[in-house]
Chain A
Amino acid sequence: MKRRDFIKKAGLTAAGSVAFPYILPSGRLFARTTAELADHVVYVLFAGGVRQQEAVLKRYLADSQGVDIEGNIMYNMINGAPPDRKIVYGTTPAGEPTGSLPIPAILGTTLQSQGLLFPEVQAMNGGHYGGLTSLLTGNRSTAQGLKVRPNVPTIFEYLRRHRGFKASDIWFVGSGIGNSFPLLNSSGHESYGTSFGANFVAPSITFGSEGIEVLSDAKVYHPQEELEPIHKMREFLNNTFRIKNGEVQGIKNDPDEKAKIKEFIRQTFNKGGAIAKPPAGSGGDLNTIAYAAEVLKYFKPKLLVLNLTNVDGCHSSFSNYLRSLHRADHGVGWLWNYIQTEVPEMAGKTVMLATPECGRNLNPNPIQDENDWYAFDHSGDYNTSRVWSLMAGPNVPANLSVGGESNRVGRTTDNVLTIAEIFGVKDAVANAGFVDPGSMSLFDRI
């Protein structure tokens, strides 16, 4: 090597080691900055657009229909007594009025009492896709288009890249494939992207009638006699093919992870729908929650993000919205209880964080339901920006509420830094430069 080349290369190496001191085999660019606060996180996108009035403010019909009845219909998550009249939010016993039987509480102690509540948080985006994108990227996402992946990295990519988690450690369980939900498992950012994305599954389809038709009869190949030759031949074919532009779309699991996921799919179909479910039944969000529990039990993922949507029925039926809200609370309470009782590897080691992606309007639209109650949209008034965040688990202060109706504390974009802090990579995520600069970890908001 020439002297000049040597000096040049040595200089570049020295500069590189100063600029990127921790390029580790796991792909992490920076060392962890803090100790981990928990081993697992379950992040509930309590989505669909939840009005503050029927949720943490516990006003039931008082602030929506001009009927002076207050009460809490989310009594697994939030403290407060339920309404005592005009009960429409529950299940429907045979021969009884619709929704007249409230679902019994599952948790002896609410998540609010077990953890930390921010009752007045600013939603950074008033639409579903934009709101969800903000919850997953920590960015305001004002320039985010529909039907494209987020412009900036998601929490999935941050954790996989900076914390070194495998694809099967990170799951996004969606309520469906509409509204571009499947695109939220990674951004399109060139430095992150699908290589660091989450495993996405929409159980209502994957394990619904379509999945049964298309996937359930899959052959189980013998690992040595059949799978090995398939892998050998495929490896040869892949080596002889040169992909010039781009690569096969979607996230990648390594062969061991693939085998594990295929086995999960096979086992789930073999159960024939006989999986653990919230007692109030299945369907809609509760179905999604039940399959999320299956994913938790099988993979014990580091991060599982669960997306709910049914409360969005509020566009056309306020009564259905109340039922969906009540069932979502029931489902979240059941999931928390399931983790503590049925998944010993995660019990006591999991933080749960729940936040709606946006609120709903203060004033109703003209649509009335069977109870002559008016429905509500979410078109971007101040009320649409009012949401809450609730967190419980190890190292989360118990029975603490920060902020209030007249003192807004927190943003929906805070959650990404909060999860990053739980896994000890808050600084790395903040330093990447894509999180909204006004955002903070919820731990720092206290």
Chain B
Amino acid sequence: MQIFKKQWVLLVGLVFISSCKKDVFVDYEVNPLGLEDKSLIKDRSKTNKQFISILYTTLHQQAISSNRLIRTERVIESFGDKTLINEVIVSNYMNSGEVILPTNEEMRADLDQFIVDAYKLFFVRIPSEIEKAFFINYIEANPNVTPELVYTAFASCDEYYFY
């Protein structure tokens, strides 16, 4: 009985000692970094004017004329399904012979760099390793995939509508 009493007192004493422990703040002297990739947070939709202006510059490496911009914008407004009509516009550009594209050989010679460049060109960000891996594997496995098809997919995907 005496032994139990002593143990009881010891236990209560331990609880009090541990519960009153002071927090220790460790400072590693590095800047705090968020784990989320901020470049993926694009929640503002491009207006038709922004979309077409950026698209034209991306594909032609030069600015669109104001007259052409207005006429293209009116065409987009004249159709209900914006993604559909934008796909047709991209396809029209691709057929014009004015789009600046790497050749198929250039693309396949350095796929890693091609993917990084495409992400920077269209999305203004560096691709993640998963994204790079997907495209490298996909393009290597499909010999009929050309830079034009890759660019068309980038120009018509959801991320390209946002900034």
Which residues of A are in contact with B by a Cβ distance under 8 Å? 167, 172, 177, 182, 185, 197-202, 204-206, 210-211, 213-219, 221, 225-226, 229-234, 236-238, 240-253, 258, 261-262, 265
A237 and B88 contact, CB distance less than 8 A: no
B85 sits at the interface (CB 8 A): yes
Among candidates A234, A242, A248, residue contacting B45 with C-beta atoms closer than 8 Å: A248
**Given A177-B77, A215-B85, A250-B80, A237 and B158 touching (CB < 8 A)?**
yes
Q: How far is it, in angstroms, between the C-alpha of A200 and the C-alpha of B161 when the chains are bound?
A: 20
Q: Is the CB of B92 within 8 A of A218?
A: yes
- Having A182-B77, A230-B153, one finds 4 other A-B pairs with CB under 8 Å, namely A202-B77, A210-B72, A215-B85, A250-B83
Contact in complex: A248, B134 (CB < 8 Å) = no
Chain A residues within an 8 Å CB radius of B157: 234, 237-238, 241
Q: Is the interface of B mostly helix, strand, loop or mixed?
A: helix
Q: Are A243 and B162 in contact (CB under 8 A)?
A: yes
In the bound complex, CA of A443 to CA of B84 (Å): 38
Contact indicator B89/A214 (Cβ below 8 Å): yes
CB neighbours (8 Å) of A237 from chain B are 153-154, 157-159
B127-163 Cβ-contact flags toward A at 8 Å (1 or 0):
0101100110010001011000110111011110110
Residue among A204, A214, A230 making CB contact with B152, cutoff 8 Å: A230
Q: In chain A, what residue has the closest Cβ to B71?
A: A210
Please report B residues at the A interface, Cβ cutoff 8 Å.
Answer: 40-45, 68, 71-72, 74-75, 77-85, 87-89, 91-92, 94-96, 128, 130-131, 134-135, 138, 142, 144-145, 149-150, 152-154, 156-159, 161-162
- A185 is contacted by which of B71, B80, B92 (Cβ under 8 Å)? B80
Contacts A/B (CB < 8 Å), 15 sampled: A177-B78, A182-B77, A211-B78, A214-B71, A218-B88, A219-B91, A229-B153, A230-B152, A233-B149, A233-B150, A234-B157, A236-B134, A241-B40, A243-B158, A253-B81
CB neighbours of A211 from chain B (8 A): 75, 78
Q: Chain A contacts of B68 at CB under 8 A? A: 213
Q: Which residues of B contact A197 (CB under 8 A)?
A: 80
- Pairwise interchain contact A199-B71, C-beta atoms closer than 8 A: no
Q: How far is the CA of A200 from the CA of B76 in the complex (A)?
A: 11
Q: Are B92 and A219 in contact (CB under 8 A)?
A: yes
Which residues of A lie under 8 Å from residue B77 when comparing CB positions? 177, 182, 202, 205
Considering the complex, give the chain B residue whose CB is closest to the CB of A236.
B134
Which residue on B lies nearest to A253, using beta carbons?
B81
B135 neighbours in A (Cβ, 8 Å): 233
Measured CB to CB, the closest approach of chain B to A410, in angstroms, equals 30
3 residue pairs, one from A and one from B, having the closest CB atoms = A200-B80, A233-B153, A250-B82
For the complex, give the distance between the alpha carbons of A67 and B144 in Å: 74
A215 touches B89 (CB 8 A): yes
Closest to B41 in A: A244
Q: How far is the CA of A265 from the CA of B79 in the complex (A)?
A: 11
Determine the distance from Cα of A211 to Cα of B76 in the docked complex, in whole angstroms: 9
A201 touches B91 (CB 8 A): no
- Known A210-B71, A237-B157, A240-B130: A251·B92 in contact at CB below 8 Å: no
